[in-house]
Amino acid sequence: MEDPKEHPSVSSERNGTQTATEPTAKTTGEAGGKRTGKDKKEKKKKKAKPQRTGEWATDIERKNASFERYYEAQNLFEDRTELDLMLDSLKRDLPTTFRVTGSRITANDVNDIIRKVHVPNLTGIQHEGVDVDPPRPIPWYLGGLAWQINVNKSVVRKLVPFQQMQRFLVYETEVGNISRQEATAQILEAMHTLPSGEPVSSPSGIIIANDSDYKRAGLLVHQSARLPSPSLVVTNVDASYYPNIYIDNQGMTLEFDRILCDVPCSGDGTMRKNAVIWRQWTIQGANGLHCLQLRILQRAMRMLAPGGRIVYSTCSLNPVENEAVVAAAIKSSAGEYQLVDVSNRLPELVRRPGITSWQVCTDKDTMNMESSFTAYWERLNDKQRADSKIVETMFPPQEVHELNLDRCWRIYPHLQNTGGFFVAVLERSPTYVLPPPKKKHTKRPVDDLANDSEQDGERTRKRARVDTNVEVTLDTEMADPTPVDTEPGPVEKEKKEKGKGTYKEDPYTYVDANSELVTYLLKCLQVQDTITNARGETEAFPRHNLFVRNADATTLRSVYLSNDRVKAVLTSNEPSRLRFISAGVKLAVRQDAGARKAMAQGGPDAETAQKYRVLHDSVSQVLPFMRPEDVIHGDTRLLKVFVERMYPLAREFASPYGEVLGRCELGHHVLQIDPSSADSEVLKGGECAYVIEVWITLTVGQVDAPTDIPHLEVERVAQSDAR
Ligand SMILES: C[S@@+](CC[C@H](N)C(=O)[O-])C[C@H]1O[C@@H](n2cnc3c(N)ncnc32)[C@H](O)[C@@H]1O
C-alpha cells in the first residue's frame, strides 16, 4: 500500500546491477558489439543522471512467462477468463490515487477545494475528441477523503485544468494536507483523531514505526514530519528479531494493542506502478521471502497484548507469501490466535476471500508445482533435503479448513482498478495469560538481540497492561527478494552489512522540568503552566516531557517534546538495542539573532528580546496553553502579506495590524486567521482558522523593503515558517 516513488529499492539501488532507467543492450544496439568511448561516456552520463522513477515504466515489457505460469497453476479463479482479466489489468498503469489527511483540521476544507473547484474544472472536458474522466472519490474510503484520477499522465500534462490540479496536489502534499498512500502516516493520523472525528494534538498512545533498512527508516521520519507527533518513535531493527521494549527499569515490557506487519514481499501486486517487477519477478524471490515473513509475523504475535490485533499485509498475490504465512503462524500459536471476521468492514471495497488450496513451485527451472510437502520431501535424497530451501510451512497445512483462511482479503487489480493486495486480521485471545517476567537485560550489544525473540519474549515478559492506542508498524516497503537457492550476491551482502551498522544517533536527554531553562523557554513560547481544557479539566503543559538530542541538557538549542509513554520507552531502553532513529516532535529552537540585533542596535526591545521560537508544525502543541489575549487574531489581509512577502516590515501590514505587530514584544507569536474574512468563497466556507507562528525581530535598513526606508533604520520585521 505504498507509493512506488518513495521506494528507493525499486530503482537503481534495488539490484545494483542495472538501473531501471538504464537502456538494455537490446535498446542501445550494443549487443555483442564493442563499445566506443562515446558510448561509454553516454552510458556514464545516463547512469549519473537517472530519470525520475515512474518515467521508465513505459519502456518495460510487461511480460513474464514464469509469473504467468505460476499464477495459472494457482487456480485462483473459478473461470480461467478471470485470470486473463487479472493479468491484463496488471499490465495497465495504475490510476493516480491520493487521500486528504484525515486528522488535519484542514481536511474538510481541502476536500471542499477538490470538490468545489477542481472537480467542476475537470468535468465535461475532452482530449482528442474523447471525454476525460474527472477525479472521483474512492467509494470505499471513509469520509470521501480519498480520490482517484483515471487519466493517463501524458494527458494530464497536456490539459491545463489537470496541470492546475497537479500543482495543487504537489503543494498540498508538501505541506502534509494530502498524502500518497503510506500506512504509517495513516495510523499516525488515526491516533491524532478522536472517535468523534475531532483532531487531538497530543494523544497519550505510542506508535513505533520500524524498518530494518536505515534509508527506509529515514523515509519514515521524513514522511511523518508532515504530521509531527509527540507519540511517534521510529526504530531501525530487524522486525523478525524485534527486541523487547521496556517501559520501566523493573523489566515491564510494552505490549501493543495493534500491530501492522506490512511485510517485505515480492510486490507482484504493485506491477501496475512498478513495471520493473515484470522483469524482476522470479519464483525464488517469492519463495525466498516466506520464512522472513513468517518470522516477522510470529515476533509480532509475541509482542501483542491479549485481545490485541495484528494486521498482516502484503502487496503480493502469492499464496506462499500470504495464506501460507498466516496459516503457519496461527498453527504455531496453539489456539492463542485466530483470524478475525472483518467481512462487514469497508463493504464497498470489492475483494475475494483467502484461499485454502495452493501450489508451491519446487523447481524454478521446470516450474514444477506441488501441493503436498510430504510428497515433495519423499522423493528427495538426503543431499537434496539438506540443500532444499522449500519448507513445510509454504504448503497448505492439513488443518487448512479449520483456520478460517477465507477471512483473509484478496484484493485483485481487475476488481476495482487497484493494485493487488492481501490483508489478514489476527486476534490474540483476550484470556491469554502472559508468563511471569524475567529480569531485564540492560546494555546488551545489538547483536544479542535475537535472544529476545528467539529464546523468547514470552518467558521474559512481565504483564504490562497499557491502555489502548499502542501501535507498532514492523516494516515498510518491498524488500529485495533474495533467491532461496543461491548465495546472496555482493549487493545483498553489502546491504546486510549496512543494516548492521554501528548505531550513531544523538542521545535523547530529558531536561529537568523545574529548571530555569524550561521556565524561560515556556515563557518565551507564551505557554501557561496549566489551563482549563474544553472538558472543564485542569491540564498541565507536559514540561517534564521536553528533551534535547545531546548528552548535556544544560543548554537548550533545539527542544523536543514527547508524551509520557514515549518518554518511558526512550528512558527505559538502551538506545542502541532498539536503534531509535527519531522520537517525538521538535517543538522550538533557540534563535538569538533577533536578541543580538536588538542589543547591537540598542533597540528599545534589547532587554526583552525572546530567544525561543516555536516551530510551525508544533504550534498545535503550544496553542491550547496560550492565553487567548496572547494570540493575535486577524483576517486574511494579514495572511496575504505573509504569503506575498518573505520578511514583511510591520508597517507593511494594513491598519490595525501594522500597529499591533509594531507594539509586539520581539520573539515568538501566534496568529490566528478567521477564514470567514477571505475573499474567496471556497476559503470563506472553511471550518477552521489558519494558525501560524510568527517571529518578530528587528531589521536594519533594507532587507527587502521599499526604498524610502533610511538605510540604517531599525524596524520590526515579521517572518513565518508557515509560508
Ligand atoms: C511493504 S514495505 C512497507 C511499506 C510501509 N508500510 C509504508 O507504508 O511505507 C516493507 C518494508 O520492510 C522493510 N524490511 C525488509 N526486511 C525487514 C526486516 N527484517 N525487518 C524490518 N523491516 C524490513 C523493507 O525495507 C521495506 O521498507
- Provide the pLDDT for residue 548: 95
- The CA distance from 191 to 201, in Å, is 9
- The CA distance from 377 to 291, in Å, is 18
Q: Rounded to the nearest whole angstrom, what is the distance from the C-alpha of residue 210 to the centroid of ligand 1?
A: 8
> Domain coordinates of the chain in residue numbers?
202-264+276-499, 509-589, 627-719
- Provide the pLDDT for residue 103: 60
Could you report the per-residue pLDDT of 545-572, keeping only the tens digit for each? 999 999 988 878 899 999 999 999 999 9
Does the annotation flag 79 for ligand binding?
Answer: no
Q: Please work out whether the CB of residue 370 comes within 6 Å of at least one atom of ligand 1.
A: no
Q: Rounded to the nearest whole angstrom, what is the distance from the C-alpha of residue 474 to the centroid of ligand 1?
A: 7
Q: Rounded to the nearest whole angstrom, what is the distance from the C-alpha of residue 213 to the centroid of ligand 1?
A: 8
Tell me how many degrees the CA angle 566-570-576 measures, rounded to the nearest 5.
140
pLDDT bucket at 481, cuts 50 / 70 / 90: very low
pLDDT value at 515 more than 70: yes
- Provide the pLDDT for residue 681: 58
Q: Please work out whether the CB of residue 238 comes within 6 Å of at least one atom of ligand 1.
A: yes
- Provide the pLDDT for residue 682: 54
Does the annotation flag 84 for ligand binding?
Answer: no
- Provide the pLDDT for residue 651: 80
Q: Rounded to the nearest whole angstrom, what is the distance from the C-alpha of residue 294 to the centroid of ligand 1?
A: 14
Choice between 368 and 610, residue whose per-residue pLDDT is larger: 368
pLDDT bucket at 576, cuts 50 / 70 / 90: very high
pLDDT bucket at 605, cuts 50 / 70 / 90: low
pLDDT bucket at 58, cuts 50 / 70 / 90: low
Q: Which of 13-27, 46-60, 360-374, 396-410 has the lowest mean pLDDT?
A: 13-27
Could you report the per-residue pLDDT of 352-389, keeping only the tens digit for each? 999 999 999 999 999 999 999 999 999 999 999 999 99
Choice between 648 and 539, residue whose per-residue pLDDT is larger: 539
- What's the average model confidence in pLDDT over 199-211? 91
- Cβ burial of 616 (10 Å; 0-12, 13-18, 19+) is middle
Active-site residue, 524 included:
no
- Provide the pLDDT for residue 712: 34
pLDDT value at 426 more than 60: yes
Does the annotation flag 708 for ligand binding?
Answer: no
Nearest to 151 by CA among 111, 115, 97, 113: 97
Q: Please work out whether the CB of residue 419 comes within 6 Å of at least one atom of ligand 1.
A: no
pLDDT value at 91 more than 60: yes
Q: Please work out whether the CB of residue 239 comes within 6 Å of at least one atom of ligand 1.
A: yes
pLDDT value at 434 more than 90: no
- Cβ burial of 468 (10 Å; 0-12, 13-18, 19+) is exposed
Helix pair 65-74, 80-90: axis angle to 10 deg: 140
DSSP-assigned letters across all residues of 306-335 = EEEEEEEEES---TTTTHHHHHHHHHHTTT
- Provide the pLDDT for residue 254: 96
- The CA distance from 217 to 499, in Å, is 11
- What's the average model confidence in pLDDT over 131-141? 87
- The CA distance from 427 to 490, in Å, is 40
Q: Please work out whether the CB of residue 362 comes within 6 Å of at least one atom of ligand 1.
A: no
Atom of ligand 1 nearest to the CA of 264: 10
pLDDT value at 350 more than 80: yes
DSSP 3-state of 689 = coil
Helix pair 283-303, 323-332: axis angle to 10 deg: 40
Could you report the per-residue pLDDT of 268-309, keeping only the tens digit for each? 999 998 999 999 999 999 999 999 999 999 999 999 999 999
- Provide the pLDDT for residue 172: 84
Q: Which of 334-348, 414-428, 620-634 has the lowest mean pLDDT?
A: 620-634
Q: Which member of 261, 265, 315, 361 is catalytic?
A: 315
- The CA distance from 519 to 139, in Å, is 50
8 Å CB contact between 107 and 172: no
- Provide the pLDDT for residue 4: 31
pLDDT value at 84 more than 90: yes
- Provide the pLDDT for residue 471: 45
Q: Please work out whether the CB of residue 304 comes within 6 Å of at least one atom of ligand 1.
A: no
- The CA distance from 500 to 29, in Å, is 41
Could you report the per-residue pLDDT of 486-502, keeping only the tens digit for each? 333 444 444 444 445 68
DSSP-assigned letters across all residues of 220-251 = HHHHHTTS--TTEEEE-S-GGGPPP-BSSTT-
Q: What number does CATH give the domain 202-264+276-499?
A: 3.40.50.150
- The CA distance from 650 to 634, in Å, is 14
What number is the ipTM of this complex?
Answer: 0.99
